[in-house]
Amino acid sequence: MADWQNIGPADMLSDGAMREVRVDQETLLLARVEGRYYATQGLCPHLRAHLARGQLRGAVVTCPAHSSQFDVTDGHNIAWIEGLPGLVRGVAQALTNQRLVLEQVTA
């Protein structure tokens, strides 16, 4: 996505809220954290669950399907699929090696 697109008014989300938006053919997660907006891919890289159906606590969104966690401010994975043993979790993270695509959106 090379161009900025208007997706709504600057006050469309209260602080600590998130929602799914569609821009062109992309599903994005829009989150407002400490007064700043962040946009990231809206589908979990594991099984493509809609992240907007998960929970946002601070800057961390938790996938509703398998509890993987991502930081919406920079896209990095904080915790991979809940309940996996350490070695298996490490292999899953290495194989996926995906960061959420992230762009900071200015209000």
Q: pLDDT tens digits, the chain, 107 residues: what are they?
A: 457 778 888 888 999 999 999 988 889 999 999 999 998 889 988 778 999 999 999 999 999 988 889 999 988 888 776 555 565 556 655 555 444 444 444 44
- Which residues are CB-neighbours of 33 under 8 A, at least 6 positions away? 15, 16, 56, 58, 59, 72, 73
d(C-alpha 106, C-alpha 12), whole Å: 13
Q: 56 CB contacts (<8 Å, ≥6 apart)?
A: 16, 17, 18, 31, 33, 62, 72
Using the Cα atoms of residue 53, residue 106, residue 46 and residue 25 in order, give the sign of their dihedral.
positive
pTM over cut 0.85:
no
